[in-house]
Structure 1
């Protein structure tokens, strides 16, 4: 069953979820490997500007987090708003702590 269908369930109807299949997971896995290889190649090349390498690594890390959270932890599915909000709150608190610690170290 590839579409949403209603199945009888002891007095009511139970909605079945769409089955994604392994194709999306394989594509996302390959994308994760490519992101890792790009980050590794940037550092292993040696001749790359350090600032560019750091920015590239940060961009690759953010993309990896989005891929991992969205596809492997299924946060792209319906009904996951509360966990997403809690994670965003955690990222905000962690970012605030990092910024404040850098401020205290460098400007005080």
Structure 2
């Protein structure tokens, strides 16, 4: 049994795996998981977890992931719209807000 095919067949989408090279990969993975659960139902994820022999998320974990996605969505949209951090990690350079705004116009705040 190939698990990737199993997931894609059950979800009609591939689940995303967070990685260290894209600043928003964890957010995108959580967003995709929640989208699959909304569209296909929690039972679909439960069956996949059973097939993959991994524990299913408990209600508190699902609530946390839902809140995480809600909080991070505007952050993701803002940073993506700036085009400054397509593949880096967003960081703060501890400058006062007005100086930081000017600085980010001339240099990236990503690395």
Query: Normalising by structure 2, what TM-score?
Result: 0.31
Higher fraction of strand: 1
Higher RCO (CA < 8 A, seq sep 6+): 2
Higher fraction of helix: 1
Query: Normalising by structure 1, what TM-score?
Result: 0.31
